[in-house]
Structure 1
């Protein structure tokens, strides 16, 4: 789809499974399993959906999925499925090769978002997967990822060290605009200094088109739109609750399209305010 000054495509990078109880926190299983059914290990199927922006002479990839560096044990634990799709193949289907990517924006450095940012070369050595790209990360998050004990199982050195060693790392400070018509929305409840990506709508017939938000792990699925549906993975759930209310209020008032990174069925939706709170509406399985 064309949105503002950019051609925007979603990029499917595979599926994974995470514990449904952890994904929905205090929400009782009889409620959440009606939305996303678990497997026999209580894992729910999740997408690893990234975003590709092409415009202003740039090819920008937002997040990279889990990548292909995990061993058999890792892939069994997290039910990684690259038969469904893989980052390289999905980019190639859009006519994009790794060397074409000018920028990689990592919303945060958890392994299911940053794993595809690096790879093993033919000699087995780790390297960046996009040799010509600048890698954009919030400075506060980069520092947090290297000091957090609470989240150390989610921050893997193999996903971070090659970026730093390459000289391709670009650290951002706050809600800046890294490219024309693109800005960051910072949230801190899921992990410290997660940067959501907001794309302006630009001019349209009858007025300006509404923005598009890549919601990452503030709203991992459409089922997480209701305010109390917060992940147990979040380091500060009450902060997430406040951040959801702030972002969803803007999304509903301004008619944003919200892209869900982890919803296996719903790629994007609008946000509506109802008597029972916020809900996803006008759901789309793909752009």
Structure 2
């Protein structure tokens, strides 16, 4: 097995929305805001090469939306999936599986693209199976008013219409060992219904793809919960349990949305679980 971080592009989000009820004077210590109150956000995906399978976890926003849409998110930098794949010797047509932690637009928008003539939308990875879970799929295609703006039909329906959509098995509890894709998956419901958090055992370490359970290193204190979460009190419980285990078992946390920190570890302190160390992917695994 080999792993590769894939940078799909950077954008900005409102810092208040990203930290919910936490005062700005506190969250700006770790996530400084610009004059518009926006903070730097990454869409860092993860590529797994395992035998004859090439699995991409999440795909970022993609590039098919209008200039008006992207104008809300202040895109910055030059990163994109194609260049990042090419850097590691791959092409999007090599991808055999696309695993989506959940179907919010900044996690799955890159899964679908316009065709050459811009007459219809098609899967952006023509040889891949797309993986979600049935509970989350139904949640996404029948969205509540709060999440409707995050579940965009143009990002979702072409995967089903193409016949490339597949469902990960749902466990009896919240943890699935050895999923259909070969890694373990934690299911959490605070941010959205049945978000999936991959746990990958690699080179003697457990690397956890954090998705929106822990967007950035600045979100480590348990009360630092995003305003986007549909069930924030449940997030508090899920996050507290996970962070305690992550600190005790020395998990390495792969931060999808932290534009400035790729991977971190945690430690127990008198104030609760806190940041221990920060690593780049290359420092840790190369």
- 1:214: how far off? 0.2
1:241-252 mapped onto 2 (5 Å cutoff): 241-252=236-247
Do structure 1's residue 169 and structure 2's residue 170 form an aligned pair?
A: no
Partners of 1:189 and 1:236 within 8 A in 2: yes
- 1:180: how far off? 6.3
- 1:93: how far off? 1.0
Q: Cα deviations across residues 102-148 of structure 1 (Å, max 9, x unaligned)?
A: 10000000000000001111111210011111101011100001122
1:12-91 mapped onto 2 (5 Å cutoff): 12-81=7-76, 83-91=77-85
Alignment partner of 1:283 out of 269, 278, 286: 278
Alignment partner of 1:11 out of 6, 11, 18: 6
* Other-structure match for 1:158: 154
Where does the alignment leave 5 or more consecutive residues of structure 1 unmatched? 1-5, 203-208
* Other-structure match for 2:201: 200
Partners of 1:48 and 1:65 within 8 A in 2: yes
Where does the alignment leave 5 or more consecutive residues of structure 2 unmatched? none
In the superposition, the TM-score normalised over structure 1's length comes to 0.93
The number of residue pairs the alignment matches comes to: 275
In the superposition, the TM-score normalised over structure 2's length comes to 0.93
In 2, Cα distance between the equivalents of 1:123 and 1:145?
A: 28
In 1, Cα distance between the equivalents of 2:3 and 2:38?
A: 30
Alignment partner of 2:213 out of 212, 215, 218: 218
Secondary structure of 2:21 counterpart: coil
Partners of 1:140 and 1:173 within 8 A in 2: no
Partners of 1:56 and 1:180 within 8 A in 2: no
In 2, Cα distance between the equivalents of 1:34 and 1:226?
A: 13
